[in-house]
Structure 1
Amino acid sequence: MLGTSYFDLAQAIYRATNFDDVVDLLVAKLPGLIGTDEAVVLGSSPLVGVCSVSNHGPIAKRLKERMDLMNRLASRHPITNRVDFNNPGDLGFAMSDHISPEEYRTSEFAREVYGDDWAMTDAMFGLLVAGVRRKAYLTCYYSGSGITVQARERFDAILLTVRGVLDRLEAYNVERVVRQRIFGASAPLAIFFLNQSSEVCPLNHAAVTFAESRWAPDEAVRQLTPDQTGLIDRVVDDAWINPVTADWRDVTLDLGAGPSLIHALPKLSGEVIMMFPVSGHEPVGEEAVTILTRRQREIMEWIAEGKTSAEAAIILGISPRTVEKHLEAVFQRLGVENRIAAMRRYLDLKRGL
């Protein structure tokens, strides 16, 4: 049974309003709940490895002091070849599931990182944040005789609870900082997002207007070069306050009008929201359809007439693949998942609804 103590901790975590509160609850309450000596939360970046250690206990203090060493020796961790730390699974696992305590204690990683006085016999790991741009791991260290079945059950249950709460907190943070940026702007903002294929996609009327005037007629998205993508990755990697909370960073990028200062906000999913001010006004009534490019409006007119992608392609003198690429962009901009919903939303916009 999970017990009253588990539900008290789970309820407190569910009410938490930020990442630090969740971590404070874990490091203070989880050891007593599952019989561990110390609980530590590690934050990880894809560019630098472990970048934060949360807790003030002796193990956490040692890890903070030896963070650079820990990253250098990461490939020599005794279970690196047995567990994919980027995707270890939905539940936690124990070190003893893969190697013996003696092998762990005498490994080069443990001796160099933890020191010769390392007394732990086992550890439990779990992935708290499974983002592309940030990850966070919960590690509980044991010096006792073994990890009980009840401890494993409680660890897994807390792990799943925390994941749900942190997902909610990340989504809230993105909404909050985007809203603040938009409402605080003195001029209309062109809003784009960068997907994991290094494609820049217009999201609002101002962005579509910019793209239509600066991009090729059938350039539904702007493909960034590897150098441009690498620059953005480096800049936004510094934007994270903690593994679920990021803030804006400025990056100079050419999206078709020469180098411009662009505000960039990373998301855990790997996407980056990008904004910059432009002149103009926000659309009203039927003009709202101009959230789509001219080509996309032409395609949607024929889709509304019941034409297939192949038929629309023949009529417009473009390839079916180009039509499908434009439709993918239409779905994203209209917030729909298929062509029927897109057609209905498009017709509603034309009617000013």
Structure 2
Amino acid sequence: MARSSTLNVAVIGVGRMGADHVRRIQEVVSGARVSAVVDADAERASAVAARAGGCAAYTDPAAALAAADVDAVLVASSSPAHEAALLAALAHDLPVLCEKPLTPDPASALRVLEAEQRLGRRRIQVGFMRRYDPEYVRLEQLLRTGRLGRPLLLHHRHRNVSAPPGWASELLITDSLVHEMDVTRWLLGQEITAVTVLRPTPSRDAADGIQDPQFVVLETDGGVIADAEIFVNCGFGYQVQAEAVCERGTARVGDGHAMVTQTAGRWGGTIAQDYLERFEDAYDRELRAWIDSVRHGTATGPTAWDGYAAAAVCAAGVRSLTEGGRVEVELPERPALYG
């Protein structure tokens, strides 16, 4: 489309994440407008549409994607619904920003990957927003320069105040730790080849039967060992941190020390309470970059291959969680479309 044109975006799924993206398109970024919202809850879809200036509200994604005033799609529905929405968008040859994960498992992710390859051009960007967080961007750039030597180890921490109701142990991997799967690949420029999930004593604040926390060890094809603590009922805040240990130094992000106060005999700062607060700037940057790329007719950002690779690593992690031991990751050769 012409660079001067306003991008008409259909947002599929307007729960907390989707509604925040609607706000972001309407109030924060430029070059786009929300032309349609879709949600299985008709009342919620209508309410969000009204707040977005009275755009069309649908309960059926297919009807929204067939509308004449839809140029692009943002998928923020629950992950089991992603495959159908993505395949429909590809059938209409529409560019898509799909919230993570691409799909919940590698089999469905592969079907999406193959559909995009048949189309012959990249249309899907996956919402791994940490690639747009300024701290993570600086860390990736530093590692790429080689000034610290080769990376040897990579440490991650991922903590939430509390898990949503109804969560299962495997969701700690497929819905939360999927970010660490992707950012490890991106920071290192390496594929993950094996996963081992260790099971510490569960927290008493976790729901019955939920293995929380978990400690995950990742091996890469470049010989780096990465570990990730995932703790979704820590109780005190939302923390995402990473530290690269290299031959000639270390680099760490996510400490959250933007401002430290000293008063009344104490010093300290604040801890973000959820992902929308911690990564607000990253989401803004991600959406702005996606809108610009679509309006300019280019494809940037995390690809469907990145989404598929993360799904394959998560599947290995779930298998290690349930069966125990080290599980190798099976990946086919990267298709030329994503080279």
TM-score, normalised with respect to structure 2: 0.31
- TM-score, normalised by the number of residues in structure 1: 0.30
Structure in which a larger fraction of residues adopt helix? 1
